């Protein structure tokens, strides 16, 4: 949990990286969890050059390394990542909140974003930009969820 802190005048505000697979194409091993929760309360993110919060979902697949259909169906690949952001101020940053998937077509991280009582002001690249990926899993229903309540 990040609480009652100020992140000011940096290149990046907060950057998180969530890996889609337990290894990359060179077989480097990454720790992955089925459920992750990141809580932020009472933060002030001001005057950062790039995004105040940049959440990345990173995959090993790309144009030269495409997964097979069987690889896309493995349940071990699915992870639920929750962000709870409450009573935070985002001012004069390169961007507010940016959540993106590299590459979105091969993603398996399910985003759950809950934003309550935040203030977004004068951010150059927008306030709240979330990519919602297609999650490959044929046997279960997967829900992507965004709750945006009482934000300015």
Average of pLDDT values for 120-145?
76
Lowest-confidence region among 2-11, 71-80, 137-146: 137-146
**What local confidence, expressed as pLDDT, does residue 136 receive?**
59
pLDDT in tens, 63-121: 777 777 777 666 556 788 899 999 999 999 999 999 987 766 667 788 899 999 999 99
- HEC string of the chain equals CEECCEEECCCCCEEEEEECCCECCCCCECCCCCEEEEEEECCEEECCCCEEEEEEEECCCECCECCCHHHHCCHHHCEEEEEEEECCEEECCCEEEEEEEECHHHCCEEEEEEEECCEEECCCCCCEEECCCCCCCCCCCCCCEEEEECCC
If one compares 78 and 40, the residue with the highest pLDDT of the two is 40
15 has a pLDDT exceeding 90: yes
Does residue 18 surpass a pLDDT of 80? yes
pLDDT at 144 exceeding the cut of 80 = no
Least confident of 10-19, 42-51, 59-68, 94-103: 59-68
Distances (CA, A) of 35 to 99, 146, 151: 17, 16, 26
The answer for 9, left when phi > 0, alpha when psi is -120 to 50, beta otherwise, is left
Percent of the chain past pLDDT 90, that is, above it, reads: 43
């Amino acid at each position: 949990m990040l609480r009652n802190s100020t992140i000011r005048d940096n290149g990046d505000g907060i950057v998180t990286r969530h890996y889609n697979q337990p290894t990359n194409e060179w077989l480097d091993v990454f720790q992955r969890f089925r459920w992750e929760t990141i809580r932020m309360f009472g933060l002030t993110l001001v005057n950062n050059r790039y995004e105040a919060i940049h959440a990345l979902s990173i995959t090993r697949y790309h144009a030269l390394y495409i997964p097979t259909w069987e690889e896309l169906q493995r349940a071990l690949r699915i992870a639920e990542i929750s962000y709870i952001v409450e009573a935070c101020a985002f001012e004069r940053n390169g961007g507010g909140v940016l959540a993106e998937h590299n590459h979105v077509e091969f993603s398996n991280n399910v985003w759950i974003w809950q934003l309550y009582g935040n203030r977004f002001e004068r951010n150059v690249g927008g306030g709240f930009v979330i990519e919602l990926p297609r999650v490959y899993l044929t046997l279960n229903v997967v829900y992507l969820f965004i709750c945006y309540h009482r934000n300015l």
